[in-house]
Amino acid sequence: MNDDASGYSAAKDLLRQGRAVEAECALRAVLDENPRQAAARSDLGMALMLQKRIAEAVAAFEEALAISPDYPPTLSALGKAYSDAGRHADALRCLDRLLAMMPFSPAAHLHHSMRGWALVRLGRWKEAADAFETAVSQRPDFAGAWENLGIVYGQLGRPEEALRCFDRLCVLLPRYAPGHNYRGMALVQLYRYEGAVACFREALHLDPKFVPSLLNLGDPLSTLGRNEEALAAYEGVLKLDPKNAEAELGRGDILQILGRIDEAAAAYERAISLAPRWPAAYRHLLQVRAVTGEDDPTLKALKAMLADESGLPEADGTELHLALSKAYRDLGRPGPAFEHLREGNLRKRRKIGYDEAAVLAEVRATADMLTPEIMQAKAGLGDPSELPVFVLGMARSGTSLVEHVLASHSRVFGAGECAEFRRLAIERFGRQLEKAGDGLSGEVLRQLGTDYAACMAAKAPGAVRIVDKTLGNFFYVGLIHLALPKARVVHVVRDPMDTCFSCYSQLFMGTAEFAYDLGELGRYYKVYADVMAYWRRVLPPETVLEIRYEALVENFEAEVRRLIAFCGLEWEDACLRFYETRRAVRTASAVQVRRPPYKEAVGRWKPYAEWLGPLRKALDL
């Protein structure tokens, strides 16, 4: 063996042993003797990668490729180096070239996975899903690719497919706490909150100090009405990680839900102290406290962040502009308030994959399927329970106020937005409800109603009426009537301009993806209004009570008496003093419903009229 060969062999041995600094020295010596030895130059790149000297490694790999353009190990290593350097478009080109050369190599699954990761970094989520799908098809036990594929599907709003991936991940790695955490996150997206809690608990069983699961546990517990447990989860995070600003924010949200407003404000302020450049904490604080002047410390902090906004991630930029909008609304300055509101919504809209045609088709689906003939033929076949009261309508229409009034009655329990009917309907009919007509037998309808009533009864065994305030149930009014013909439906209606402007002013946590563009928002409202008009035409007149928000705040007692009578309840004066009722309120109106009736929200859109032309056009006003 000649000296060059023995020197290179020794360098390779050092590299295999992970002795990167010594390997680098040995490889440089080899290259001093033979600068055009491509394999040695590629290995030098690997030694530099091990030392985290990424830019130098990239240069070494590029030089190796210049000498030997089709050397697969170098292409693979350069793709990884480009990715580590944040040069994701270059990484993608490199990996595409490699896969074109060797589509069926033993390492192809790894290269497809690396390609998927580059596509994620470039924001090309659908292509990333295809890349990871190819990786797992080539190597079905590739746990890392299943994990990444599930994350991508979660980002794409495809929770069923995300769950499929995480189910597989948990089979491959049953003791991997993050896998159970991801599975729980997918179940939250599917409204399967009990299952999500179980997954987060399993992750914590495997790793009691796994903070992400403890942090994620709070939201589904709160959704299930277990707010004290949710509060304990956030406080548990703070015991493990006292400087966790997300836990303080979550803790503040639960305290706000419980009506402990001063404590919520204090929690948000602690979150700000832990993360002074986190706009979300300021926005949450402004939900419970108004800005009182230009010298308000919160406004000053927001302005300072705006002056140095380039250092903020895009999601934080959205939060920043929406917080500033709220601050200027507090100060009665509609111009800057709307400027920041528009910018915040533009940024939010860019980050979501809202498919307007698909969403509007889904809104229409059950109305299209439940023709007047079907409604007549299937009438009276469902469960006869009188327990449920559905309060529904558009977001920001006054549904929280109506629910809180009802829940102030001693025989009524307000369950909030629980999504149980939607979940049960999807389990029976899938998401394409327009195809469910043939399956609407009396037995199926009755069982749907029975299962729903049982779910609700478990939330408050002694209640005579239980209120479900899931707004999206307006899709299902006809199906609700068939499954539960004696259930009450209360439709809350507010002036469309006020409703839509209030939606546009709110950053929703959930599925209201229609709310961030004035045109899309107006068109969604129109379809909602059309669907509700259809239900009024085909249902018996006593099925749905319409409460107009403006009439409610103007003639409060008369409207509340009408509401209580419709629900078949005896009158109680406590319903007029709803603001004294201490109960959890898990909506953006958690602060407002703790005040006596007020009229300030009527006509709230008018100071912003000059900027709302696209909304008026979409609403045909």
Is 146 inside a domain boundary?
no
Model confidence at 588, pLDDT cuts 50, 70, 90, reads low
pTM of the model: 0.79
- Collapsing DSSP states into helix, strand and coil, what is residue 531? helix
Per-residue b or e along 386-401, where b marks 16 or more CB atoms closer than 10 Å to that residue's CB: ebbbbbbbbbbbbbbb
pLDDT at 453 over 90: yes
Phi, psi dihedrals of residue 313, rounded to the nearest 5°: -60, 160
Answer for the pair 576, 560: CB distance below 8 angstroms, yes or no: yes
Question: Which conformational region is residue 158 in: left (phi greater than 0), alpha (psi within -120 to 50 degrees), or beta?
Answer: beta
Q: In this predicted model, what pLDDT tens digit does every residue of 365-400 receive, in sequence order?
A: 888 889 999 999 999 999 999 999 999 999 999 999
Number of domains in the chain: 1
Which range, of 62-71, 186-195, 213-222, averages the lowest pLDDT?
62-71
* Residue 607 burial by Cβ neighbours in a 10 Å radius (0-12, 13-18, 19+): middle
Q: Which residue has the tokens 């749905």?
A: 544
Give residue 459's domain range: 357-619
pLDDT at 1 over 50: no
CB atoms within 10 A of CB 570: 10
Summary mean pLDDT of the chain:
90
Q: In this predicted model, what pLDDT tens digit does every residue of 148-176 receive, in sequence order?
A: 999 999 988 889 999 999 999 999 999 99
Give the CA dihedral 461, 466, 471, 477, nearest 10 degrees.
110
Triad 500, 338, 620: Cα angle to 5°: 35
Q: In this predicted model, what pLDDT tens digit does every residue of 506-563 receive, in sequence order?
A: 988 766 889 999 999 999 999 999 999 999 999 998 899 999 999 999 999 999 999 9
Alpha-carbon distance values, 478 to 24, 105, 361 (Å):
72, 55, 16
Span 68-87, average pLDDT: 82
pLDDT at 585 over 80: no
Is 472 inside a domain boundary?
yes
List all residues 6 or more positions away from 509 whose beta carbon is below 8 Å from its beta carbon.
Answer: none
Is 7 inside a domain boundary?
no
Residues recorded for the chain: 621
Q: In this predicted model, what pLDDT tens digit does every residue of 331-343 receive, in sequence order?
A: 999 999 999 999 9
Which helix H or strand E contains 151, and what residues bound it?
A: helix 143-155
Answer for the pair 306, 324: CB distance below 8 angstroms, yes or no: yes
Is 51 inside a domain boundary?
no
Alpha-carbon distance values, 380 to 467, 476, 486, 488 (Å):
22, 16, 9, 14
Q: Which residue has the tokens 């793709």?
A: 79
Q: Whose CA is closest to 593, among 414, 412, 393?
A: 414
Name 491's bridge partners: 392, 546
Rg of the chain, C-alpha, whole Å: 29
Is 217 inside a domain boundary?
no
Please give the pLDDT value at position 592.
62
Is 394 inside a domain boundary?
yes
Q: In this predicted model, what pLDDT tens digit does every residue of 200-209 receive, in sequence order?
A: 999 999 999 9
Q: Whose CA is closest to 85, among 62, 111, 69, 103?
A: 62
Q: Which residue has the tokens 């990444």?
A: 148
Query: What is the CATH number for 365?
Result: 3.40.50.300
Is 607 inside a domain boundary?
yes
